[in-house]
Amino acid sequence: MARAGARGPVPEAGGDMAKTLRVAAVQLETRVADTRANMAACERLAAEAVARGAAWVALPEFFNTGVAWEPALADAIEEEQGPAGSFLRAFSRDHGVVIGGSFLCRLEDGSVRNRYLAFAGGERVGRHDKDQPTMWENAFYEGGAPDDTGVLGPCGGLRVGAALCWEFMRTRTARRLRGLVDLILGGSCWWSIPENWPARVRDPWEAANRENSLASLRDTARLVGAPVVHAAHCGRIECPMPGLPLAYRGRFEGNAAVIDARGNVVALRNGDEGAGVLYADIEPGEVPVHGEVPRRDWLRSRGTLPWFAWHHQRLLGRRWYRGHVRGR
C-alpha cells in the first residue's frame, strides 16, 4: 500500500489545491516521559519521510512524551514556544513540509491542554486542543474550549482539520468537521487492554479495543468525507493502575494509517510492525457524504472495562491534576 517517489513542492497557504499529495504518518516506539529520546526518534522518522518524498508528515498525539499513569509527565509539560512547538516550526521551515503533532502544553493561566500544532514552511497552519482527556490522561490536562472546532486553517488551498485519539470515537468530532475540511491530520496514543489479566476476560475486550482503534478512523473519515492521516505510538508500557492495587502491563496499539474520504484504508502499519513511517499518495478534498452523523455521543461501543476506566480514572485524574499540575 505504501509508495515512494520524487518529492513535489509543498503547497503554500492560499495556493491551488494539489490533485495528489504524498503524505506520511509516523509510528513511534515510545519511552513514556522521555522527551529527549522521543524527540530524537520523531526527528529521525520525519526526516526519513521527507527523504521518501512526503510533503505532509503526521506525528502522534503526545509525540514528545507518550502518556501513561506516570507522574513524571508533569515535569515534561511545555509552553507552546518550548522544545516541541519549536521543533515542529523549525522542521517545517528547514524541510519545506507540512508537519503536525500534539503535546502537553501549558497556557498562561497555568492550565494544561493536549495541543495539536501544524506548521507549513515555518508558519503555523493552526492549533487544536483535544476536547476532553481519556481515562488517566485526566491527571495531566483538561479539555479544550467548546468553540474549538478542530479546523486548523487553509494550507495550499486545502481546508485542514485535526483530531486526536478518542476524538475519533465521538460523534461531535464528525459534526464539527463535516463540510469544513478537505484533509484531517491526527494521531493517537491508544493503549491495549491489560495483558496481565486473565485471557478469558482480556481477549474479547482486546479484540474489540483493537478494532475500535482503526474502525473509528474509518468512521470519522467517511462521516466527514475527508481523508485522515493518522500517526500512532507502539511498544510496551507498564505503570500502576490509578486507584487500584494492580499494575498495568500492555502496549500501545499502533495503527498508523492513511484513510481515504470514503473510509477505505489506503496504508496501515499495525503495532506489531514496530516503529517506522508509512506513505501514501492521496487525493485530498471533501467528497459528498450520505446519511447523518448518529445522534448518540459515541460512534462505537467502548466496552465494559473502558467504560469503567473512563469514569473511575477521570474522577481520580481530575483530582490529581488540580493538586499537582494546574497552576504549577
Q: Can you give the residue ranges of every domain in the chain? A: 21-324
List, for residues 241-284, the tens digit of each pLDDT value.
Answer: 999 998 999 999 999 999 999 999 999 999 999 999 999 999 88
pLDDT at 163 (0 to 100)? 98
Sign of the CA dihedral running 252, 254, 259, 263 = negative
Average pLDDT, the chain: 93
- What backbone torsions phi and psi does residue 90 show, to the nearest 5 degrees? -65, -40
Hey, is 82 helix, strand or coil? coil
Q: Among residues of the chain, what percentage have pLDDT more than 70?
A: 94
Angle at 116 between CA 303 and CA 219, to 5 degrees: 40
pLDDT at 201 (0 to 100)? 84
Range 21-324: architecture per CATH: 4-Layer Sandwich (3.60)
Alpha-helical regions (H) of the chain: 35-51, 83-95, 171-177, 199-224, 304-324
The mean pLDDT of 145-167, rounded to a whole number, is 96
pLDDT at 288 (0 to 100)? 80
| pLDDT class of 287 with cuts at 50, 70, 90 | confident
User: What is the rounded distance in angstroms from the CA atom of residue 98 to the CA atom of residue 121?
Assistant: 7
Report which of 126, 98, 89, 100 is spatially closest to residue 8, judged by C-alpha positions: 98
Indicate if the pLDDT at residue 7 is higher than 70. no
Burial 144-162 (b: 16+ CB within 10 A, else e): beeebbbbbbbbbbbbbbb
Indicate if the pLDDT at residue 17 is higher than 80. no
Q: Among residues of the chain, what percentage have pLDDT more than 90?
A: 87
The mean pLDDT of 52-79, rounded to a whole number, is 97
- Cell numbers for 285: 478534498
| pLDDT class of 111 with cuts at 50, 70, 90 | very high
